[in-house]
A and B are shown apart, each in its own frame.
Chain A
Amino acid sequence: MPQINLTVNGQSSSAEVEGRTLLVELLRDKLGLTGTHVGCDTSQCGCCVVQLDGKSVKSCTFLAVQADGATVTTVEGLTAPDGTLHPMQEMFRKHHALQCGYCTPGMMMSAINLVETHPDGLTAEQIRHAMEGNLCRCTGYHNIVRAIEAAWPLMQAGAAQTAT
């Protein structure tokens, strides 16, 4: 079995995987990071989205072996060591952007990538188009869009602070 090395939530990991092992299986079953959910297993719902080398990808449709050498962030990597929530988590809580919470990890990982790749601003319409790959069966999406809109300035301010 191929041996792969990757960085997950800032920590180096190595694992033996079969060719067919999916990235989400590696994360959940081998690394114990069960925050990344499998909703549909058919690439449609987005519950399994993680960040990989700065891109949001559906980890149920990504071979683990393809992540060799990659840097992966899952929902477990969002909260600071002192317990401070990531701005996206904080805004999801403040705007009640979840009910059952099953889709929330994927929603946030997609949304964070969206904000990070749009430093010049995001309209509600852009957010709705960009979040098409994440399905939520509880909220009706309005509060999710509000949470992302509210997280945008906080994340941009955080990025500016980190840069200085």
Chain B
Amino acid sequence: MYDFQYVKPSALENAVKILSDNDAAKAIAGGMTFIPVLKQRFSQPSVVVDLSGLGLSYIRREGDTLVIGAMTPHGVVAASPIVQQAIPALAYLAGHIGDRQVRYRGTIGGSLANNDPSACYPSAVLALDATIRTDRRDIAADDYFQGMFTTALEPGELVTEVRLPVVERAAYVKFPSQASRYALVGVFAAKTAAGARLAVTGAGQDGVFRHRAFEEALEKSFSASSLDGIDTPIDMMNTDIHAGAAYRAHLVSVIARRAVDIANA
């Protein structure tokens, strides 16, 4: 790992300023992706800005909205009675990210800022039609995810919290890679006030995506059988050493059915 200067600001505006003023400054949230990236020398920041002193770890409910601070670790989300009551599928999702040690450190904001194409959280945020609040604006989930490891965030812009609408029913099902526990395919299905939404992670060539054909079918009838006969385009699927495109497309259908069944249970 290349050396860097470590700073831990205690005010959000200071963190934003350091990151905005210096192209070679990088933020560290839980570090569960970023530290391995540094070790492999994929990134060579001159300054690493630790976001853990900004008071961004919190969970609260505001009416029909669940609000989760960006620095809230996965394990805290998983164990939170507020989350379990408001959106149990989200607590389940958080409790199955990585492993227990990762869940102590990894954060929702870090996961969303990184937008790994196999990360779990992006599927929930997209399917729940959540809003990503940053130091300067609110971004709708539909506008936020812009392809693998790419988001609407500007240089120096920091996620401060995620605002998730409480929905009628929802479920997340993950088919994990046996080695990494990342989603080979993960599906978050939700029946929201705005209609049926279903987002897929792990499978798409361009990262997380909404499965519009499935959504239209679920809009008519929110049941697994309504997905019968609807294909997932193979040319949209990712291919790597873990799975081919055709296998992933098949898994999307299987896992989506399971998710809808669990949401209805």
Say whether A associates with B: yes
**Inter-chain contact A130/B100, CB cutoff 8 Å:** yes
**Inter-chain contact B104/A43, CB cutoff 8 Å:** no
Say yes or no: is B85 at the interface (Cβ < 8 Å to chain A).
no
Say yes or no: is A46 at the interface (Cβ < 8 Å to chain B).
yes
Please tell me the number of chain B residues within 8 Å of chain A, measured between CB atoms: 26
Q: A124-155 interface mask toward B, CB cutoff 8 Å, 1 = contact, 0 = none?
A: 00000011111000000000000000000000
Say yes or no: is B1 at the interface (Cβ < 8 Å to chain A).
yes
Select which of A2, A56, A62 is within 8 A of B100 by beta carbon: A56
**Inter-chain contact A20/B38, CB cutoff 8 Å:** yes
Report the bound CA distance from A134 to B48 in whole Å: 28
**Inter-chain contact A42/B36, CB cutoff 8 Å:** yes
Say yes or no: is B102 at the interface (Cβ < 8 Å to chain A).
yes
**Inter-chain contact A133/B31, CB cutoff 8 Å:** no
Closest-CB distance, B205 to chain A (whole angstroms)? 25
Please tell me the number of chain A residues within 8 Å of chain B, measured between CB atoms: 28
Report the bound CA distance from A61 to B36 in whole Å: 7
Report the bound CA distance from A63 to B3 in whole Å: 12
Contacts of A110 in B (CB 8 A): 100-101
Q: A4-48 interface mask toward B, CB cutoff 8 Å, 1 = contact, 0 = none?
A: 000000000000001110100000000000000000011110100
Contacts of B52 in A (CB 8 A): 66
Contacts of A112 in B (CB 8 A): none
Contacts of B50 in A (CB 8 A): 66
Q: A89-110 interface mask toward B, CB cutoff 8 Å, 1 = contact, 0 = none?
A: 0000000000000000000001
**Inter-chain contact B3/A18, CB cutoff 8 Å:** yes
Closest-CB distance, B200 to chain A (whole angstroms)? 23
**Inter-chain contact B35/A62, CB cutoff 8 Å:** yes
Closest-CB distance, B29 to chain A (whole angstroms)? 12
Select which of A19, A46, A58 is within 8 A of B5 by beta carbon: A19
Contacts of A42 in B (CB 8 A): 36, 39
Report the bound CA distance from A2 to B4 in whole Å: 11
Report the bound CA distance from A46 to B99 in whole Å: 10
Report the bound CA distance from A57 to B101 in whole Å: 5
Report the bound CA distance from A42 to B33 in whole Å: 10
Select which of B6, B32, B179 is within 8 A of A19 by beta carbon: B6
A residues neighboring B (CB under 8 Å): 2, 18-20, 22, 41-44, 46, 49, 55-58, 61-63, 65-66, 110, 113-114, 130-134
Query: What would be 26 A-B contacts, judged by CB atoms less than 8 Å apart?
Result: A2-B6, A19-B5, A19-B48, A20-B1, A20-B3, A22-B1, A22-B35, A41-B39, A43-B35, A43-B36, A43-B102, A44-B179, A44-B180, A46-B99, A49-B101, A56-B104, A57-B104, A58-B101, A61-B36, A61-B105, A62-B35, A66-B31, A66-B50, A66-B52, A110-B101, A132-B99
Given contacts A43-B32, A58-B101, 9 further A-B contacts (CB under 8 A): A2-B6, A18-B3, A19-B48, A22-B35, A42-B36, A55-B104, A62-B105, A63-B48, A134-B99
